[in-house]
Structure formats: C-alpha cells, structure tokens
Amino acid sequence: MSDFHRRLEEEIPRLRRYARALTRNPAREEDLVQETLTRAIQKQHLWEPDSDLRVWLFTIMHHQNVNQIRRAMRHSAIDLETCSHTLVARTDPTASCQLRELERALGELPEDQRQVILLAGLEGLSYDETAAVIKVAVGTVRSRLSRGREALRKLIGREQKRPVRAAEHHLEPTLLAA
C-alpha cells in the first residue's frame, strides 16, 4: 500500500464525520464519502505531499457536496427536514436532546455559516485551512464563524445576555433605603 493510500485510509473517519454533519442524511453521507475518495484517488497526482491531506480531501468533499446539491436542485427538491439520528447519544436523554437540538439548529443555519462551523469547530481546521477548503478569505471565515455561532446561540436558546454596566444599573440611594 502506498503512503498516499495509507494516509487516505486514515482520513476516512474524519471524512465520514464531516459528510454526516454536512448532509444529515445517511445515504447522502455514504455517497459523498465514496465520491470524495474516488475523486481523490483519480486526482492523487495533484496532491502535493508536503501539504495537509485532510484539507485537500475536505476541499474535494466541499466541491462534491456543492455539485450534489446543484444536481438535486435541478432534478428535485431537497428535503431539508430529513434528520439523521446517528449523532444522538442513546444513554443520556439530556445529551440526546441537546444533540438533536444542535443538529436541528445547524440545519437552520445558512449553508455558508454551517460549513465554516463544521470545518473549524467540528473538524478543528484552522481559519487558514478552512478558508482554503471553501475558497474564501480568512476574514470571511471569521465573520461567518462569528455570525454562525451567534445564530446557533439564538436557535438553541442560549443567547448570551449582554453584560449590564454599573452605570446602566445605577439606582438612587433613596430608592434602596425603603
């Protein structure tokens, strides 16, 4: 087995996790992973051995996913309400509920924000790597991540309250002495 194929095989669990989070559909997840692996093997001559294989694979997956969505939009409507239950923890009902809520909230985010959150948050890519995968500027990654996180907080109902400054909460001493 070549070094490329060994490294490719090591990345399969990460590809599956990202595909699952992107598609939220087990059938589409498997198709996306297979298409990504097939494309990577066909194009392995384009991969630079000194570069990060994971970033290269996520870039391929990103493009494959965009192509799948475009094909599906041409041929039929995509059911955005279809949710995968593969992320649900079975032993802790609270965790199970939280994961379903997070999955639902991620599904409500605009695609550009969801992609950045999944790449930087779930997969742990740096801002530079995330920008390279989706082919945008690093500043765009930062702003999408910020907007996406804020939207997630609101969707999950954990919107952080703005800290109240002492000057805004100033009460007259006579009101306190009742």
Pick the CATH number of 87-156 from 3.30.420.40, 3.40.710.10, 3.40.50.10310, 1.10.10.10: 1.10.10.10
Spell out the domain ranges in the chain. Answer: 1-83, 87-156
Architecture of domain 1-83: Orthogonal Bundle (1.10)
| pTM beyond cutoff 0.75 | no
**Residue-wise pLDDT tens digits, 25-71:** 888 899 999 999 999 999 999 988 888 999 999 999 988 888 877 77
**Residue-wise pLDDT tens digits, 131-156:** 998 899 999 999 999 999 899 888 88
Long-range CB contacts for residues 107-113, cutoff 8 Å, separation at least 24: 107/24, 107/80, 107/83, 108/151, 108/155, 109/148, 109/151, 109/152, 109/155, 112/144, 113/144, 113/145, 113/147, 113/148, 113/151
